């Protein structure tokens, strides 16, 4: 029998356990010192409690020893992950990061795991702690000890966008990282956190912040700086030694403390170099504001000291939007655009930093709280939910693509303070009426005492347009900068910026352009196919106002730039985009109109414009907007002499494959044309907008998206032949037929590697077919046989054929299929043909391209689209719907053969098929589904019978997909008119006093 312990003995055993020293193995990611600084606070408390802490890191040892002078701390130098590799101080190299992680933690994974397992056993670790090294959790699982992560982000989330940007070759990395994390008991989640779907459970703690050691007065005294002097702390990792910090960069009378400046970097007399290892919290507390990049350490320490942070965005730094939102929520941040930072135009931003009043008052004892949680976990205290199977834990939750790309229906685990507004603020039904003068009146505008007189155009009964006008009416009231400074809660930066660009006493031009649902045709558009496109209900609104340079309302930094030239005020383009937080882009962009001209006064070349807008990823979106100006100048000879203010509010979700970019281009060009008295047909406008995307943005898309947005009609399919852009007809959708779009949650981009490589392979195939046809024609001519006249004519046509879609399937199968290689290297193709004759893509010699399948796809797709259009006019039977659905399924699987499918879209198509099979004995209602647009994610188009049964089945699929992936799909339902049919509104704001 076992010995029975008394209550006193049990109590003694628990006390002994509580004081027994533990051994912690604390792994620190190789990305930046910010992780090391927060690890210090947790490790300091663990060592202070008498525990042994072994820190596994590549950070300098002094960083830890300075704050933890304890024999209980041990440092082991090992690199187990690489974090994000940066090509410069502001740019993350996405492909380089994935490749480096592969070399660091994938190629040698077996050996690395073996070493870590042996080491963990040798130190007799009680708990593995990871910030946020994936392989550490796996090693702990193999040893049989628990692991806990401490972080505000995880690498599966960070790398997921890198995969979409750099191509899918490294997709397995994301899944492997997620699997590693799934072994952790839980994650101790820090404020400003990103979604971390791979973890089974989370425990939130306060901010982990290093304490200030010396007072503001003492630090300034040691540096010889008076209390009256304004001090800027400049801490910018990765500074280029060629950066010359000049006196005029900061306001007169200020001093700037420069951390980590290279010895050879030139500093003006008002810049003071401080030691690289200076204790940052003391310097932050002693400064009036800080200029740097957003990272957890910087944000947490500036907030805890209530020191304003002037920040510059980094490209592809995916934790940034969450930290930035926390910073702005506490009124602690001022954003500086990259161009002004690099050119030294800092003064307006620094002066703004002194006006805002940081208001953070939350607890900063996260280090102590985390240490207690880790002690409990090492002792075996159960904080977690019941363990689940790996398939359930992962449940396809890693949705590839930046998860900030969402819509109002997206459910995601984000902080309470992170409350991004809907893309179109105030969107929803609006009670409205019109008097004889065409004056819009609604409840919200009456309350504000502000109305718009519609001088030209019509609302067409569109509630989203009325809502957009309401948002304009709210700008002065809710977007006042000074009022926001005094308010209990700060306003969104985009609202503040928008309030400062319009002169309300003058005319404003408003346009509207919808997104589109690709019913049939898709990527065959660039091969000349017939396509069928449905304009959707969601649309982009753009408001434009032109102003003489002296009258335009300018932002302070724009005014400062203008005055610095000494030439007075010249035309400026100012752009504000609502919903910027939804896609992690800067909400504003401004440029001098002169930037669109070369030294000879001519509009700059398209490749020059592409490089201009490509300088800053967070503002690259402006190429879609400002690019319309350049295209109008180059293609139509238009000259713009006034300043232009542009406000954008789009309800077309980005990255969903429903042409958000085309809607933006078409709406922008329509409004600009209206404001300048230009008359452009919808078709011509669509072609011009395609030039914006192809030449200025640099995305090799076809023209169907812009045509659908510009020329579409509500509840009709736009049937057009892309040779180059000819509208055949507007096809009535039979009353018994309905289309839906279901978003897979996987980000789609026509600029992505897969779309581009498929297009290259398609044009390679066309060139090979042309060459083969030319040889056949020559052989027939040499034979001079009368019986071959037909074949001679056909071969001659094929040799000169510009569009693959004009070759019928039987010609492909009888004459060319056998000569098309399955794949071909770029180098070999260029040796054979020198060019594939596609002006929008480039062949990479070292890449292997699929050829046979991409070349065949548009030929068969064109046939399918023609059959689909014909079937729509057939007798209304189930056989008709089944045939239409079969064509959609064929199209979907043809995409998959082209490697343009995705696990999310395949799952949705499968769910549609399952729903139909389950209902087959009852009422078959959904008949077909296919991936849309450029593929590789995005939206699935579903065909069904009109009625409640189909609607219920669509909702059922939505919930099934959420259960399987954790993503609640957005459902696109309904249609609206294109930009050409809408026209434009010319409006002017007026007050209730004027009305009376």
Long-range contacts of 888-894 (CB under 8 A, 24+ apart): 888/520, 888/928, 888/929, 888/930, 888/941, 888/943, 889/913, 889/928, 889/929, 889/930, 890/860, 890/864, 891/520, 891/522, 891/861, 891/864, 891/930, 892/929, 892/930, 892/931, 894/857, 894/860, 894/861
Q: From CA 83, how far away is CA 97, in angstroms rounded?
A: 7
Q: From CA 516, how far away is CA 711, in angstroms rounded?
A: 11
pLDDT at residue 600 in the model: 92
Which is higher by pLDDT, 568 or 907? 907
Q: Is 705 a catalytic residue?
A: yes
Q: Mean pLDDT score of the chain, rounded to an integer? A: 85
DSSP class of 519: E
DSSP class of 108: T
pLDDT at residue 108 in the model: 92
pLDDT at residue 573 in the model: 95
User: How large is the average pLDDT for residues 28-42?
Assistant: 87
Distances (CA, A) of 463 to 364, 422, 440, 538: 46, 15, 12, 11
* DSSP per-residue string spanning 346-375: -HHHHHHHHHS-----S--BHHHHHHHHHH
DSSP class of 697: I
User: How large is the average pLDDT for residues 498-519?
Assistant: 93
- pLDDT tens-digit series, residues 538-551: 999 999 999 998 88
The answer to whether the CB of 942 falls within 8 A of the CB of 958 is: no
Q: Kindly state the tokens that stand for 233.
A: 């702390």
In which residue are the tokens 């043809």 written?
A: 894
Q: Helix %, strand %, coil % for the chain, to 5?
A: 45, 20, 35
Q: What is the pTM of this model?
A: 0.84
Lowest average pLDDT, out of 67-76, 310-319, 805-814, goes to 310-319
- pLDDT category at 784 given cuts 50, 70, 90 is low
pLDDT at residue 748 in the model: 64
Q: From CA 268, how far away is CA 260, in angstroms rounded?
A: 16
pLDDT at residue 432 in the model: 34
- pLDDT tens-digit series, residues 192-220: 988 887 887 889 999 999 989 999 999 99
* DSSP per-residue string spanning 673-688: HHHTT----HHHHHHH
- pLDDT category at 477 given cuts 50, 70, 90 is low
Cβ count within 10 A of residue 763: 25
pLDDT at residue 6 in the model: 52
- pLDDT tens-digit series, residues 907-950: 999 999 998 766 554 567 999 999 998 888 889 999 999 999 99
Q: Helix 622-636 crosses helix 682-691 at what angle (to 10 degrees)?
A: 110
Q: From CA 110, how far away is CA 87, in angstroms rounded?
A: 29
pLDDT at residue 702 in the model: 82
- pLDDT category at 396 given cuts 50, 70, 90 is very low
pLDDT at residue 177 in the model: 92
- pLDDT category at 41 given cuts 50, 70, 90 is very high
Contacts of 166 (CB under 8 A, 6+ apart): 94, 95, 98, 753
Exactly one of 81, 705, 743, 798 is catalytic; name it: 705
Q: From CA 502, how far away is CA 476, in angstroms rounded?
A: 10
**3-state SS, residue 144:** coil
pLDDT at residue 746 in the model: 79
User: Does residue 991 register a pLDDT over 60?
Assistant: no
Q: Kindly state the tokens that stand for 206.
A: 């306060």
User: How large is the average pLDDT for residues 18-30?
Assistant: 88
User: How large is the average pLDDT for residues 834-859?
Assistant: 92
Q: From CA 602, how far away is CA 118, in angstroms rounded?
A: 68
pLDDT at residue 783 in the model: 67
514 strand-pairing partners: 539
Beta strand pairing call for 530-547 and 309-311: unpaired
User: Does residue 162 register a pLDDT over 90?
Assistant: no
pLDDT at residue 390 in the model: 37
pLDDT at residue 480 in the model: 67
User: Does residue 413 register a pLDDT over 70?
Assistant: no
User: Does residue 387 register a pLDDT over 70?
Assistant: no
pLDDT at residue 171 in the model: 78
Least Cα distance to 930 among 965, 886, 967, 891 occurs for 891
pLDDT at residue 615 in the model: 84
pLDDT at residue 776 in the model: 84
User: Does residue 303 register a pLDDT over 50?
Assistant: yes
pLDDT at residue 680 in the model: 97
pLDDT at residue 923 in the model: 64
Which is higher by pLDDT, 400 or 609? 609
* DSSP per-residue string spanning 945-981: ESSHHHHHHHHHHHHHHHHHHS----EE--B---HHH
Q: From CA 444, how far away is CA 450, in angstroms rounded?
A: 9
- pLDDT tens-digit series, residues 657-708: 899 999 999 999 999 999 999 999 999 999 999 999 999 999 888 889 999 9
- pLDDT tens-digit series, residues 705-761: 999 999 999 999 999 999 988 999 999 999 999 999 999 887 765 545 478 899 999
User: How large is the average pLDDT for residues 128-150?
Assistant: 96
Q: How many CA atoms lie within 13 A of 915 on its CB side?
A: 27
What percent of the chain lies above the pLDDT cut of 90?
Answer: 60
């Amino acid at each position: 029998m076992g010995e029975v312990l008394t209550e006193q003995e049990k109590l003694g055993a628990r006390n002994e356990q509580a004081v027994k020293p533990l051994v912690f193995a604390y792994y620190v990611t190789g990305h930046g010192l910010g992780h090391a600084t927060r690890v210090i606070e947790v490790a300091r408390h663990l060592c202070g409690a008498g525990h042994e802490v072994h820190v596994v890191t590549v950070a300098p040892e002094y960083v830890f020893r300075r704050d933890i002078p304890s024999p209980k701390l041990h440092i082991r130098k090992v690199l187990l992950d690489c974090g994000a590799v940066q090509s410069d101080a502001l740019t993350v190299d996405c492909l380089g990061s994935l490749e480096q992680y592969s070399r660091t933690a994938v190629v040698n994974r077996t050996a690395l795991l073996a070493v870590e397992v042996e080491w963990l056993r040798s130190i007799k670790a009680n708990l593995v702690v990871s910030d946020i090294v994936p392989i550490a959790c796996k090693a702990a699982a193999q040893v049989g000890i628990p692991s806990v992560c401490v972080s505000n982000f995880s690498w599966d989330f960070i790398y997921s966008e890198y995969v979409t940007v750099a191509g899918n070759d490294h997709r397995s990395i994301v899944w492997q990282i997620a699997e590693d994390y799934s072994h952790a008991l839980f994650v101790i989640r820090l404020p400003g956190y990103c979604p971390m779907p791979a973890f089974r459970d989370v425990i939130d703690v306060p901010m982990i912040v290093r304490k200030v050691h010396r007072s503001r007065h003492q630090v300034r005294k040691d540096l010889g700086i008076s209390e009256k002097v304004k001090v800027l702390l400049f801490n910018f990792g990765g500074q280029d030694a060629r950066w010359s910090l000049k006196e005029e960069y900061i306001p007169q009378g200020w001093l700037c403390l420069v951390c980590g400046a290279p010895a050879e970097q030139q500093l003006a007399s008002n810049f003071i170099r401080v030691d690289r290892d200076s204790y940052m919290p003391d310097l932050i507390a002693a400064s009036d504001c800080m200029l740097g990049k957003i990272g957890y350490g910087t944000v947490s320490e500036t907030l805890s000291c209530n020191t304003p942070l002037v920040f510059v965005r980094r490209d592809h730094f995916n934790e940034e939007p969450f930290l930035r939102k926390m910073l702005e929520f506490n009124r602690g941040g001022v954003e500086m655009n990259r161009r002004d930072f690099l050119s030294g135009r800092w003064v307006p931003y620094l002066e703004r930093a002194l006006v805002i009043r940081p208001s953070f008052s939350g607890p900063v004892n996260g280090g102590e709280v985390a240490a207690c949680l880790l002690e409990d976990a090492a002792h075996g205290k159960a904080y977690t939910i019941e363990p689940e199977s790996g398939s359930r834990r992962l449940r396809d939750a890693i949705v590839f693509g930046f998860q900030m790309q969402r819509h109002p229906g997206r459910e995601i685990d984000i902080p309470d303070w992170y409350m991004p507004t809907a893309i179109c603020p105030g969107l929803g039904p609006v009670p409205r009426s019109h008097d004889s003068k065409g004056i819009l009146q609604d409840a919200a505008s009456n309350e504000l005492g502000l109305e718009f007189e519609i001088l030209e155009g019509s609302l067409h009964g569109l509630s989203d347009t009325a809502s957009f006008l309401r948002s304009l009416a709210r700008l002065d009231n809710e977007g006042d900068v000074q009022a926001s400074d005094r308010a209990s809660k700060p306003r969104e930066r985009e609202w503040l910026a928008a309030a400062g660009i319009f002169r309300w006493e003058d005319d404003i031009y408003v346009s509207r352009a919808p997104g589109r649902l690709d019913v049939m045709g898709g990527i065959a558009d660039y091969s000349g196919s017939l396509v069928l496109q449905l304009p959707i209900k969601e649309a982009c609104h753009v408001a434009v106002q032109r102003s003489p340079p002296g009258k335009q309302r300018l932002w302070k930094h724009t005014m400062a730039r203008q005055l610095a030239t000494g030439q007075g005020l010249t035309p400026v383009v100012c752009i504000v985009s609502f919903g910027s937080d939804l896609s992690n882009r800067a909400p504003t962009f401004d440029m001098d109109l002169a930037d669109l001209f070369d030294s000879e006064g001519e509009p700059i070349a398209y490749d020059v414009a592409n490089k201009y807008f490509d300088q800053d990823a967070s503002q690259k979106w402006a190429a879609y907007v400002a690019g319309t100006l350049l295209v109008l100048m180059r293609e139509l000879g238009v000259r713009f002499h006034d300043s232009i203010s542009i406000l954008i509010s789009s309800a077309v979700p980005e990255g969903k494959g429903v042409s958000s970019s085309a809607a933006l281009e078409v709406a922008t060009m329509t409004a600009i044309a209206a404001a300048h008295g230009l008359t452009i047909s919808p078709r011509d406008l669509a072609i011009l907008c395609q030039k914006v995307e192809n030449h200025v943005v640099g995305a090799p898309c076809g023209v169907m998206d812009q045509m659908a947005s510009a020329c579409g009609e509500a509840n009709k399919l736009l049937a057009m032949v892309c040779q180059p852009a000819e509208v055949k007809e507007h096809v009535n959708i039979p009353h018994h037929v309905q289309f839906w779009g279901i978003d897979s949650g996987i980000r789609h981009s026509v600029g992505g590697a897969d779309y581009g490589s498929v297009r290259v392979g398609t044009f390679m195939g066309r060139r090979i077919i042309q060459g083969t046809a030319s040889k056949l024609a020559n052989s027939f001519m040499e034979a001079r046989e009368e019986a071959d006249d037909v074949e001679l004519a056909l071969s001659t046509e094929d040799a000169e054929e510009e569009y693959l879609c004009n070759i019928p399937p039987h010609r492909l199968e009888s004459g060319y299929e056998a000569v098309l290689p399955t794949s071909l290297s770029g180098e070999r193709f260029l040796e054979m043909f020198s060019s594939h004759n596609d002006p929008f893509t480039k062949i990479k010699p070292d890449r292997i391209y699929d050829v046979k399948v991409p070349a065949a796809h548009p030929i068969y797709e064109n046939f399918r689209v023609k059959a689909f259009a014909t079937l729509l006019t057939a007798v209304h039977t189930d056989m008709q719907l089944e045939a239409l659905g079969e064509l959609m399924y064929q199209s979907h699987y043809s995409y998959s053969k082209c490697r343009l499918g995705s696990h999310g879209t395949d799952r949705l198509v499968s769910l549609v098929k399952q729903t139909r099979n389950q209902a087959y004995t009852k009422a078959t209602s959904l008949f077909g589904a296919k991936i849309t647009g450029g593929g590789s994610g995005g939206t699935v188009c579903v065909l069904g019978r009109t009625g409640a049964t189909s609607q219920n089945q669509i909702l059922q699929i939505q919930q099934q997909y959420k259960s399987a992936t954790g993503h609640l799909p957005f459902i696109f339902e309904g249609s609206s008119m294109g930009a050409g049919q809408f026209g434009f509104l010319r409006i002017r704001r007026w007050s209730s006093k004027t009305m009376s």
